Amino acid sequence: MTELTELTAVRLLDGYRKGEWSPVEATRAALERAEAIQPEVNAFVRLTAEDALERARESEERWRRGEPRGLLDGVPVTVKDILLLRGTPTLRGSRAVDPAGRWDEDAPSVARLREHGAVFLGKTTTPEYGWKGVTDSPLSGVTRNPWDPARTAGGSSGGSAAAVALGAGPLSLGTDGGGSVRIPASFCGIFALKPTYGRVPLYPASAFGTLAHVGPMTRDAADAALLMDVIGHPDSRDWSALAPPPGAYAEGLAGGVRGLRVAYSPSLGGQVAVRPAVATAVRRAVERLAELGAYVTETDPDLTDPVEAFHTLWFSGAARVTQHLGPRQREALDPGLREICARGARYSALEYLAAVDVRMDLGRRMGRFHDTYDLLVTPTLPITAFEAGTEVPKGSGHRRWTGWTPFTYPFNMTQQPAASVPVGADGDGLPIGLQLVAARHRDDLVLRAAHALYEAGVATAGRPTPSGS
């Protein structure tokens, strides 16, 4: 018997079309899996089972009539609890948000999913206001890794990554301001794309400004391309949204990598200490790209670590998002968030603009780099998942999460599309991610190359065993 929770969205839809299974069956299976994994992994803030089953029944009737609504009719999806989902509180991992709000509006990406008939299973966990690279918060506790619950799922879209990895819906919407879909994708062994800034509209606007992206978290690149064909269209509420893409991402996947110019940077010119297991797995995948016809050159972008400029932008955003809170509410914040907010509030306008200058120069240098190379390949992270409940690995010497994510946040500053692809596991069985980066607006190249790795059997971390199922 087919295990519905193990299927991609593409395969589920094919089964609906052929009458092999129904949206109700798929939704029930996903909800049962979500309930089974929740006690150990803690991927969800809330499940909306009754609403999900009602939408699934409506979808089933449309499929019975041969009149599916859009591209994702009946597919179970989850939504990170940063994005608005009509009828459901969006608490952003914080006790400072009142659950009794109106909650009568969808975020743009959520609205597109609703229009295409997707079935919402519930909201996934996030650190408070999505501020760090692991997922724990005073509101919802610690989200754990599907492969080893003693370790972190990563963040800030950790709940989404764990849900997808364990079969609680094949698709999830995450947000990424410094690596927040790619970090947990790498730690949990799934695919995630941070699209070009503006490709997926965002409303309300993030306090982290144009660092913040919305992106798909999926089982593979084909599902991500399908999801992008739904959510990657403008919305009048986002003044920075891009015009519609020139074509369907799903239709461009088959182009492969033959003839693409690929730059492989193992450590950003020696700036990053990468664990041997990670380095080996990524190099092996890059060699496969060459075998598939890509022209691979080992070289480094002109990229001096912009962490201080990123901190100025990020900490200022954190201060802004919490500016309205009173003293008692501030005292209840995640201590790390409270600390960076205090620092962010002290920056002057001139310091902020100096960080913008660093960002603009970095964008110019990466733009020139992509005049020569179609894709840049790096590890997604230099490490695999570490102990849950901490911001940084014990004994690492890092002060903040940016210390162990040097490959991710620079490409939020440049607004480039970047994806994490699973390319194996370390000696402890923990997933390893490879990062693909392209020039702005070339999301299609990132998806094509990732799909080629899946088709070649390189992009895999296996499947974790869900507890309680």
Q: Is 437 helix (H, G, I), strand (E, B) or coil?
A: strand
d(CA 253, CA 448): 5
What SS3 class is residue 408?
Answer: coil
Both tokens of residue 293? 């016809």
**Of the listed 59, 156, 160, 316, which one is catalytic?**
156
User: What tokens appear for 27 in the block?
Assistant: 């939704």
DSSP H/E element including 335: helix 335-344
Q: Where are the beta strands (DSSP E) in 365-458?
A: 375-379, 418-425, 431-438
* Amino acid (one-letter) located at 23: P
**Amino acid, single-letter form, for residue 140:** S
Q: Which of the residues 180, 186, 206, 420 is marked catalytic?
A: 180
Q: How many CA atoms lie within 13 A of 368 on its CB side?
A: 9
Whether 180 is catalytic is yes
**One of 80, 123, 132, 194 is an active-site residue; which one?**
80
Please give the full DSSP string across 16-79, using - where no structure is assigned.
HHHTSS-HHHHHHHHHHHHHHHHHHH--EEEE-HHHHHHHHHHHHHHHHHT---SSSTT-EEEE
Name the token pair of 21. Answer: 């299974």
Q: Is beta strand 136-137 parallel, antiparallel or unpaired with respect to 119-124?
A: unpaired
Catalytic annotation on 132?
no
Residue 164 parent element (H or E): helix 158-165
Tell me phi and psi for residue 153, to 5 degrees: -80, -5
| Rounded (5°) CA angle 353-355-356 | 60
Give SS3 for 119. Answer: strand
d(CA 23, CA 468): 23
Cβ 408 vs Cβ 178: under 8 Å: yes
Q: Is 80 annotated in the active site?
A: yes
What positions carry a catalytic annotation? Answer: 80, 156, 180
